[in-house]
Structure 1
Amino acid sequence: MEHGGEALINGVRFHSDTVVVKATKEKNKIVVVDDVDHEEYDYVDRDRFDLDVVLSRIPFVRGWWNYLEGIVKWKIIVIAISIIIIALEFIDNLWIQRIEVWAYVFFTILIVGAVLLFRFTAIAKYHAAEHMVSNCAIQGLDLTFENVRKQSRIHTDCGTNLFTFALISFLVLSLIPGVQEFHFFLKLCLSWSIGYELFLMKHTYIKPIYLIGYGMQYAIFTSKPNKEHLKVAILAFKRLQKRQGEIDNR
């Protein structure tokens, strides 16, 4: 079963193409919820046009689309970025430079904030638990505590690897004559799209870049989980398997 996941401050979230499951630890109790409405799947037209499917198949477009899907209020973000890019065409170079400086500062603060969030909350432990459960499931093993705890907390499909590819793409674009003159947000879009394509390739000659992502996962964005963190992730994935199986068998 194809799936994805993410860590929360007090739990994990797993998803397939049709199901989203969230498990959280609340007051010494694990709460597992999903978004399945079986009546909805009785009326699904699986042959209907799906914009998400179409865009997800277009190289370089799918990278930015993937990013937008992860933003809850993506429409507002797209409109805001579009307004900024258009506005830059009507103001002088001095203001453009100032805006780009603040953009760099903002994204630097964002990255530092993310690192601090992972290091000083339980999210790094849940992130590791999410990876370990996913690795166990990919190998076709039973999701027992013993099997899960033996798994690596590093995952090939982790968003940290995608971020690494995007960051390196951004740095390379910033060094190319002509391209380095592009607006910050345009370079950001291009670097994310290129990074996403590299992330999907998984060829051996880009393995060194993966090693950077793996190192960041291990040292910064995950930490050794305890039994409770693993239990939360296991329950979440088992619910995902159950709900997806129910839908597939309808």
Structure 2
Amino acid sequence: MDKKLEAGGQAVIEGVMIKTPRKIAIAVRKPDGKIVTKTEKNNEEDSVLANIFFIRGIYKLVYMLNKGLKALIWSGNQVYEEEEELSNKEIFFVLIASLAFSILIFNLVPYVLTSIKIKEISFPIIFNLVDGIIRIIIFILYILLITKMDDVKQLFEYHGAEHKVVNCYEQDKKLTIKNIKECSTIHARCGTQFLILLFVISIFSFSVLPPLINLLFSGFIQLHFIIQKIILFIVRLLLIPVIAGFSYEFLKFFSNRQKNILVKGIIYPGLLFQKLTTKEPNEKQIKVAIKSLKLALD
């Protein structure tokens, strides 16, 4: 196996998806105990967008969301023995619905709650600190709540299995159950790490919005309070892809410098949050993750 390949992925229903520059591989354990697999060529780097600084972060996020959702649907079909496949149009609507839900829970609700007590125009830094803290609290409560569901708990166990096999592979250890069990369920390039970095960068980015809009549009302060809030919230949403692009670049930079003391301090909160989104897997789950990784590296 080529140890130079970068590997990453996600948990799916009763399985793991692993992505390398060569392939995307999914391994799923069916109810009868049999492991079924699916592989496809990874075309992510074929686009010119994949190599443009900053833009590549947005492009790769959308690419991974698309592949990740398709992997979840395929894994569900294998586990529940359904043959129906969603069309690209249906997948698009599922993505839009998921996006709308995340905007409502993790953006609109914290924004409204913060607006009740703090004036964004007058105290932008305090406003966005409180807004960011509320968002993180909601995120934690959301994770703790869904973890009570057996299916989600199992998903987090497969998430842990995915991290363990990738860590084992990156440490140049043989992919055995014993070696993998000794590896951590925490990984620096995890999507949870990306989300926390996104939250933190957005606090600073959103803090400059009110004074900047005031500076560019002198009549903004004269607008009705509700109109101001709607404009500010829409601009915040439009900035999310931009912040995501920067978050990707920061994460890429940090992942190669994990021994640096400053970098350790910056990425620590994200690593800590992974304790919520990963659980210790059992041997059967580890075997599924090994299968997925080996196929992706082949």
TM-score (norm 2): 0.61
Q: Which runs of 5 or more structure 2 residues have no equivalent in the other structure?
A: 67-87, 97-102, 112-134, 215-231
1:223 is paired with a residue whose SS is coil
2: CA distance, partners of 1:130 / 1:101: 27
CA RMSD, Structure 1 to Structure 2 (Å):
3.5
> 1:240 and 2:234 equivalent?
no
| Residue of 29, 47, 53 corresponding to 1:25 | 29
Q: Within 5 Å, which residues of 2 pair with 1:5-84?
A: 5-36=9-40, 50-51=46-47, 54-72=48-66, 76=92
Q: Which runs of 5 or more structure 1 residues have no equivalent in the other structure?
A: 38-45, 81-98, 245-250
Identity %: 26
Identify if the C-alpha distance between structure 1 residues 15 and 149 changes in structure 2 by more than 3 Å, giving closer, same or farther: same
Deviation at 1:123, TM superposition (A): 0.8
Identify if the C-alpha distance between structure 1 residues 179 and 115 changes in structure 2 by more than 3 Å, giving closer, same or farther: farther
Counterpart amino acid of residue 174 in structure 1: F
Counterpart amino acid of residue 188 in structure 2: T
Identify if the C-alpha distance between structure 1 residues 102 and 179 changes in structure 2 by more than 3 Å, giving closer, same or farther: farther
Indicate if the aligned counterparts of 1:32 and 1:236 stay in contact, CA closer than 8 A: no
The number of residue pairs the alignment matches comes to 212
Hey, what does 1:225 align to over in structure 2?
281
1: CA distance, partners of 2:197 / 2:29: 33
1:122 is paired with a residue whose SS is helix
Hey, what does 1:90 align to over in structure 2?
none
| Residues 155-164 or 205-214, more deviating | 205-214
Cα deviation, 1:145-187, whole Å, max 9, x if unaligned, reads: 1111000111111111111111111111111232694712222
Counterpart amino acid of residue 226 in structure 1: N
Identify if the C-alpha distance between structure 1 residues 10 and 151 changes in structure 2 by more than 3 Å, giving closer, same or farther: same
Cα deviation, 1:102-149, whole Å, max 9, x if unaligned, reads: 952399699565654455330111011110000111111111111110
2: CA distance, partners of 1:62 / 1:126: 28
Cα deviation, 1:50-79, whole Å, max 9, x if unaligned, reads: 32xx212222211111221123269958xx
2:65 is paired with a residue whose SS is coil
Hey, what does 2:129 align to over in structure 1?
none
2: CA distance, partners of 1:28 / 1:102: 39
Deviation at 1:213, TM superposition (A): 0.7
2: CA distance, partners of 1:102 / 1:159: 16
Counterpart amino acid of residue 170 in structure 1: S
Hey, what does 1:186 align to over in structure 2?
238
